[in-house]
């Protein structure tokens, strides 16, 4: 059986890319098809795999910032042909549009945010901002393309309950929930990032720096806590704005290695998770290190945080509520053994076994009629 993996673009280091790595470990001979591939921007482990990128990848400016390619990604995805008996499609908006010769199993991280959750995607862009106007003009045609692409799939899986509901609303598809595994193991090499050398017992945020991630609210929560420290791990469009007014007790680390990320988790006090996530991956990573979580009571965190057992919730992503939730978390006694056991329930072995069963079931259906 020939299996392939497809993903929107490999230009970042985030949870979706870690899921692709997990899929690749489950199917190590499977080539990975994508629209854009930036070897320096994403995880180095992809260099050990066969990555097939489309013609847009010849343009360096698009590899370095995939958002510039938005008007071109639908036709680029639609013209990508994947020859395999079963293609595992890791999609948050584009890869489910690839043309496949065999069966297609879509593992959906979220229906395209720019089409179905535009306010989150656009952040603080004003009503006449160029990107808002451009997206408004493109949305009707892109929604038609997106729905047609989704309905071609043979099987849909969702990474969380909230994404399952969004898939049903956007496409009318009933998807089963298969949670992804934590993205980083606790047993690998550790290396201290130079920017926080000597820091211990800080709170931690691990997130892309985008408007809907609410990292700015977490930073503000620590502005009035000079005796506490916050470390933010991530990169993205909000980085320059955050750096311009960063309190002295906050550090932002971008582009760090997995060894440095392990050290950063190992020396933290707990994790802050203030964003509206499709799946709550970082709380599981934190729990695997025996760390409690302070999380927004929304989205994928509802699947991965147990209030009072593995963390505490706050209702709105504002600095005051975040600070109050941190105080509640620090007033409790947390069992590292309980936290680690919770993370173990989302292990990669179980995820890989479930995906293999799904692939085999599709294989047994044979080649679709053309």
The CATH number assigned to the domain holding 282 equals 3.40.50.2000
Is position 189 within any domain? Answer: no
Same domain assignment for residues 288 and 354: no
pLDDT tens for 233-281 read 999 999 999 999 999 999 999 999 999 999 999 999 999 999 988 888 9
Average pLDDT over residues 79-88: 96
Is position 369 within any domain? Answer: no
Taking CA atoms, 172 is separated from 91, 114, 142, in Å, by 17, 19, 17
Report percent pLDDT > 70 for the chain.
Answer: 97
Measured in degrees and rounded to the nearest 5, phi and psi for residue 93 equal 155, -25
Same domain assignment for residues 241 and 328: yes
Q: Is 331 exposed, middle or buried (0-12, 13-18, 19+ CB in 10 A)?
A: exposed
Same domain assignment for residues 340 and 360: no
Is position 249 within any domain? Answer: yes
Report percent pLDDT > 90 for the chain.
Answer: 81
Is position 87 within any domain? Answer: yes
Given a cut of 90, is residue 64 above it in pLDDT? no
Contacts of 141 (CB under 8 A, 6+ apart): none
CB atoms within 10 A of CB 257: 14
Same domain assignment for residues 340 and 266: yes
CATH, residue 120: 3.40.50
Given a cut of 60, is residue 370 above it in pLDDT? no
Same domain assignment for residues 154 and 22: yes
Q: Which domain holds residue 331?
A: 194-344
pLDDT tens for 350-359 read 999 999 999 9
Task: Identify the band that residue 71 occupies on the pLDDT scale cut at 50, 70 and 90.
Answer: confident
What is the chain's mean pLDDT, rounded?
93
Task: Identify the band that residue 121 occupies on the pLDDT scale cut at 50, 70 and 90.
Answer: low
Given a cut of 70, is residue 156 above it in pLDDT? yes
Same domain assignment for residues 157 and 203: no
Given a cut of 60, is residue 171 above it in pLDDT? yes
**Token digits of residue 52:** 């097939």
Same domain assignment for residues 222 and 120: no
> Quick one: pLDDT at residue 185?
86
Lowest mean pLDDT among 147-156, 275-284, 287-296: 275-284
Instruction: Residue 169: name the closest of 110, 216, 237, 213 by CA.
Output: 110
Look up residue 334 and give its DSSP letter: -
Same domain assignment for residues 142 and 233: no
**Token digits of residue 355:** 């995906």
Same domain assignment for residues 171 and 210: no
Q: Do residues 185 and 289 touch, judged by C-beta distance below 8 A? A: no
Same domain assignment for residues 251 and 340: yes
CB atoms within 10 A of CB 258: 19
Is position 139 within any domain? Answer: yes
Same domain assignment for residues 307 and 163: no
Look up residue 275 and give its DSSP letter: S
CA distance 333 to 219: 25
**Token digits of residue 6:** 């497809």
**Count of structural domains within the chain:** 2
Is position 143 within any domain? Answer: yes
What's the CA angle centered on 109, arms 310 and 286, to 5 degrees?
25
Same domain assignment for residues 24 and 139: yes
Average pLDDT over residues 291-319: 96
Is position 186 within any domain? Answer: no
Three-state SS sequence of 70-114 = HHHHHHHHHCCEECCCEEEEEECCCHHHCEECCEEEEEECCCCHH
Look up residue 45 and give its DSSP letter: G
Given a cut of 80, is residue 160 above it in pLDDT? yes
Lowest mean pLDDT among 111-125, 147-161, 190-204, 331-345: 111-125
Q: Do residues 229 and 270 touch, judged by C-beta distance below 8 A? A: no
């Amino acid at each position: 059986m020939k299996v392939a993996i497809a993903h929107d673009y490999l230009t970042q280091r985030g949870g979706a890319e870690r899921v692709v790595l997990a899929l690749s470990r489950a199917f190590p001979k499977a080539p990975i098809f994508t629209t854009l591939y930036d070897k320096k921007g994403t995880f180095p482990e992809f260099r050990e795999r066969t990555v097939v990128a489309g013609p847009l990848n010849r343009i360096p400016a698009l590899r370095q910032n995939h958002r510039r390619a938005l008007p071109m990604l639908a036709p680029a995805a639609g013209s990508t042909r994947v020859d395999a008996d079963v293609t595992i499609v890791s999609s948050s908006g584009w890869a489910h549009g690839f043309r496949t010769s065999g069966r297609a199993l879509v593992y959906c991280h979220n229906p395209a945010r720019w089409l179905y959750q535009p306010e989150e995607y656009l952040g603080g862009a004003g009503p006449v901002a160029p990107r808002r106007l451009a997206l408004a003009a493109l949305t009707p045609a892109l929604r038609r393309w997106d729905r047609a692409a989704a309905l071609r799939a043979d099987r849909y899986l969702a990474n969380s309950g909230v994404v399952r509901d969004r898939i049903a609303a956007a496409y009318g598809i009933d998807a089963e929930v298969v949670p992804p595994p934590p993205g980083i193991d606790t047993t690998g090499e550790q290396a201290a990032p130079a920017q926080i050398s000597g820091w211990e017992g800080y709170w931690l945020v691990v997130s892309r720096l985008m408007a809907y991630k609410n990292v700015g609210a977490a930073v503000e929560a620590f502005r009035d806590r000079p005796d506490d420290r916050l470390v933010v791990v991530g990169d993205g469009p909000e980085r320059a704005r955050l750096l311009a007014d960063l309190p002295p007790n906050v550090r932002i680390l971008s582009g760090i290695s997995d060894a440095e990320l392990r050290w950063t988790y190992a020396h933290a006090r707990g994790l802050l998770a203030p964003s509206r996530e499709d799946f709550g991956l970082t709380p599981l990573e934190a729990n695997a290190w025996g760390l409690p979580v302070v999380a927004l009571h929304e989205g994928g965190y509802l699947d991965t945080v147990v209030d009072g057992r593995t963390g505490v919730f706050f209702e709105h992503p504002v600095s005051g509520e975040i600070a109050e939730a941190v105080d509640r978390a620090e007033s409790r006694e947390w069992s590292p053994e309980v936290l680690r056991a919770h993370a173990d329930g989302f292990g990669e072995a179980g995820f890989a076994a479930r995906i293999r069963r799904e692939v085999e079931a599709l294989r047994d259906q044979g080649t679709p009629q053309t």
